[in-house]
Every structure is written in C-alpha cells, then in structure tokens.
Structure 1
Amino acid sequence: MNNTFNEVLAAIMSHRSIRKFKNEKLTPSQIETIVRAAQMASSSRFMQAYSIIGLTDPALKRELSEITKTPYIEENGHLFIFCADLKRLTVMGTEQEKQDMRMMLESSVFYQIAVTDTALAAQNAVLAAESLGLGAVIIGSVSKDIRRLDQMLALPEYVVPLFGIAVGVPDQQPEIKPRLPLEAVYFENRYPSESDLKERIEAYDHDMRHYYQTRSENNRDAGWSRSHIDLLKLQLPLSGMTEYLHGKGLNVT
C-alpha cells in the first residue's frame, strides 16, 4: 500500500466483508463508539432520519438467521439493524401538525432522504468498527421477510428496516475484492459511450474471474457482469416491498 496513505485512507482501502467471527461479544464501550461514529455522518437538512437497533435477544437472532439462511446473524459480536426513520420527526408535533406534515413525510422524496441518511451512518459505523480492529459485514437479507422483521422490532409507521451490520472479532482474513476500474466509475463532464463502458467492464470481468478462481475459500468461475445479469433475469417479485412501504405510511412506488 502507498506509504503516503494516512490511517483513515489505509483503513478504507483495506476494507473487506467479514462473515466469520470469534465468540467474543462487543463491549458496551465499543458499541457506543460505533453508534456515536455513525451519528457523525452527514445528514440531509440535519434530519438524522435513521435509527439503529441492537439485536441482542438470542431468540430473535435465531429467528432472523433462520429466515435469511445467514449464520453470521447469530454468530457475531453484535448485530445492528439500521432503519430509515421519519417517525422521530413527528413526535413533538401536535395532532394538527402531524396531519399537516403527512404529505411531505409520506413522499418518496423524504423516504429517499431517510435511506441516504441511513446508508451514510452505516458506512461510518463500519469504518469505526474496523478502526477498532473489528470486522463487519452489511446484511441486506434481513429484509427478506420484511414484515416479520417489522413485527419482531415493533416498528411504528414511518420506520423501515433497511439492512443489518454484523460486527465482531474477525475469524477469517479474506482477500480484498477488486473494485471496478476507476475509468468505469469516474467520468468527466459526461457519461461515456456504451462501447467504451463495455470495454472497461470486460477487463474488470477478467480480473473478477481470476479473483473468484484463486481466492482462499468459496472458489467459483464467475465474472462481475454475468453474475448481475443472471440475478436481474430472475424476475424476483418486487410488489411486496411497495405494498409494505404503503402500509408504513410511505407513498412510494
């Protein structure tokens, strides 16, 4: 790694998802540090439109692990559930003010703000955990049965669970996944032509096939683009999420 990197850049550039943890619980001090670091993330209009729920009940963790088929939901040092939260903005208002706020609160614009706030806070949390010598993985599959998770966490209207973060002492040291080349992500002034973009992604597919074939565990023969094309061809049902969000009082499509 370039010796000119400072400690923050070194931590960012060495990120990898950890899915195997030692049987050591986080201390209250570590949990507080991670949450406080999450709170220091940028926030649109300073709404801080997110909540973080620490899932510590073994029965709840077991149930969520069974729903998601994800063992590290149970086997970690601490599990955080990150939620988009617009409810907090309403609690100090009068009943009339709550009615006056509904159109804005239930709009897709404000839901997007809450999702963005939550994601920014989560990235801070992961970086904080890694700076403490811990490992972490963001778990999108917690929303596989989002209605059940909603019930488990007793979430009110305007609060939506987005993903989990499992944190703990690493019990593995996986290789760092190659990222897309800079030329396929960063463009000056305008988006590139499809032919230029395709050329850049083809080179990346070659790198990813090599990575998957040679990494120390879970080897497979796969590229980046084909994996995602196959995923998007599955025609997974999406209407259930829209209906769920409507049930939470959010007018999104």
Structure 2
Amino acid sequence: MNDVIKMVLNHRSIRSYLDKPLTEEQIKIIVQSAQAAATSSYVQAYSIIGIKNQLQKDKLAELAGNQAYVAKNGHFFVFCLDLHRLEIAAEIEGAKPETIELTLNSTEMFMIGLIDTALAAQNAAIAAESMGLGICYIGGLRNQLKAVTELLQLPKRVIPLFGLSVGYPANLSDQKPRLPLLSVYHDDGYNQDKEQLMEYLHTYDQEISNYYSERTQGARSERWTEAMTKLLQNPKRLEMKQFLKDNKIPLE
C-alpha cells in the first residue's frame, strides 16, 4: 500500500484548527489541484470562492448553523456550480440567448455542474491532506442559500453547493467506520439479495452503535439505519427547487 492510499484511507473530518492561516502558495496549489480534476466535455462548470475576511467567515458560520469551524480555520473555500461562465462564453461567440437556454436549463447540464464541482472539491481535499492539513465539508451552507448567494455576490446560474474548511488540525477526530465494502461494491450488476443486504446492515449497525457508545461514554448508541430513517422522516431544504428556478436553473 503506497503513501497516497494510506493518506486517503486515513481521512477523517477535522473540526478544530490551530490559529494559523494557509499561505498564498498553499491556497494556489489547492485550487490548481481542484482544477486538475476530470471535467465533463471540458466544461469546468464550477467556481471556488476563497473567504479570508473574518466578518464574512463569521456570517457564513452563522448561516451554516453556527458551525464554529466555518469561522475558525486556516482558510475557507466555497465550491459553487457555475453555469454563468458558459452563458458568457456563448455571448462571446455571438450565440442568441434563446438558442442556448434549453441546454443551460437542462437537468443534464445541472448534473454536469454538480459532478464537476464535487470532483474538483475532492481533488482539493486530497491536496490539502497531502500537505498535512485537515478538511471538513460544510453542506450547511445550503440551509440559507439566498443569504449565502447575496453575501458572496453570486450572479444567476451560480449556486453555492458546499464549503470546505481547511487548516492545521488542533486535534484528530475519530474516524467513522464506513459501510461494509460488499454492500457498496457489486460485481457485474447490482446485487439485489435483500436478505444479504439486511445482514450487512445489521452488522454495520452494531459497529456504528459501538463506535458512538465508546466515543460518548454511552450517551449515544444510534444505529446507522436508525439515523438514516430519522433523516428520511424529516425532509430538509424543500425550497431548493424554487431557489434553482429563481437562479435561472429550472431543470427542464
């Protein structure tokens, strides 16, 4: 097993950082690494907003649900799906807006943007961890999309998908066990053996329950299936579809 794989397998979210900012060179390397990710049809449908201003960090932390590690880190990145740049590219080439509207509004283009952004972010995360830094993805920015969009002065067709806090770890958090490999990886087609999957999940439930119990000295012993059922029973961010429509991404 080489050092890169060891690093990837050692990943854990870091939520406590030393008071030490990243250098401009580190930021540049992380962004360049993000740009080196694969991209569908060379579209590169993302933009990255770096947040240095502490007042902005504090506001983003508040909007994300008062997550302290959004405000206190070495650097904070916001990864955005960006179809605005494509619109400008078409304008440079003299295309009429109505001729590109169908493509820009398509679910396929939205998915390209989501995938491109996620691939770029994961490259950034791996680059940061290779420098001895810790990272944590922040999906809580989607709690207040309109406010985040206004704060970052984003144009139409640019959607803030998630943040990435990066910094020097103050301490290492425990690593959460992942699902059993055979419940995720399927040979030659999806394994639809329900009984087998339930067996995998029962085993995983016990592992996760033990993990939480040990971590909290018995105060929490939630099973994975229990946590996922709670999530499914409490839908969140149902305003997302309307927000996308208001930002000229109606998903036709």
| One-letter amino acid matched to 1:47 | V
| One-letter amino acid matched to 2:113 | A
Q: Please give the residue correspondences for 1:22-61 in structure 2 after superposition, counting only pairs within 5 Å.
A: 22-61=18-57
- Give TM-score scaled by structure 1 length: 0.94
**1:73 is aligned to 2:78:** no
Describe the superposition over 1:202-222 as per-residue Cα deviations: whole angstroms up to 9, x where unpaired.
101111111111137896211
Asked if the contact 2:142/2:237 (under 8 Å) is kept, the reply is no
Give the ranges of 4+ consecutive aligned residues of structure 1 lying more than 6 Å apart after TM superposition.
none
Q: CA deviation at 1:38?
A: 0.6
Q: Which moved more, 1:216-225 or 1:243-252?
A: 216-225
Q: Gapped runs of 5+ residues in structure 2?
A: none
Q: Which moved more, 1:225-234 or 1:90-99?
A: 90-99
Q: Please give the residue correspondences for 1:33-182 in structure 2 after superposition, counting only pairs within 5 Å.
A: 33-67=29-63, 68-94=65-91, 96-182=95-181
Q: Distance in 1 between matches of 2:237 and 2:128?
A: 34
**Number of matched pairs:** 248
Asked if the contact 2:183/2:200 (under 8 Å) is kept, the reply is yes
Corresponding residue of 2:206: 206
What secondary structure does 2:160 align onto? strand
What secondary structure does 1:160 align onto? strand
What secondary structure does 1:91 align onto? helix
Q: Which moved more, 1:224-233 or 1:74-83?
A: 224-233
Q: Which moved more, 1:215-224 or 1:98-107?
A: 215-224
Asked if the contact 2:179/2:204 (under 8 Å) is kept, the reply is yes
Q: Gapped runs of 5+ residues in structure 1?
A: none
Q: Distance in 2 between matches of 1:97 and 1:219?
A: 61
Describe the superposition over 1:29-48 as per-residue Cα deviations: whole angstroms up to 9, x where unpaired.
00001000111111111111
Asked if the contact 1:134/1:170 (under 8 Å) is kept, the reply is yes
Q: CA deviation at 1:97?
A: 3.1
Describe the superposition over 1:160-190 as per-residue Cα deviations: whole angstroms up to 9, x where unpaired.
0000000000011112111101111011123
Asked if the contact 2:12/2:176 (under 8 Å) is kept, the reply is yes
- Go from structure 1 to structure 2 and tell me whether the alpha carbon gap of 1:90 and 1:13 turns closer, same or farther (over 3 Å shift): same
Asked if the contact 1:25/1:76 (under 8 Å) is kept, the reply is yes
Corresponding residue of 1:186: 185
Asked if the contact 2:143/2:237 (under 8 Å) is kept, the reply is no
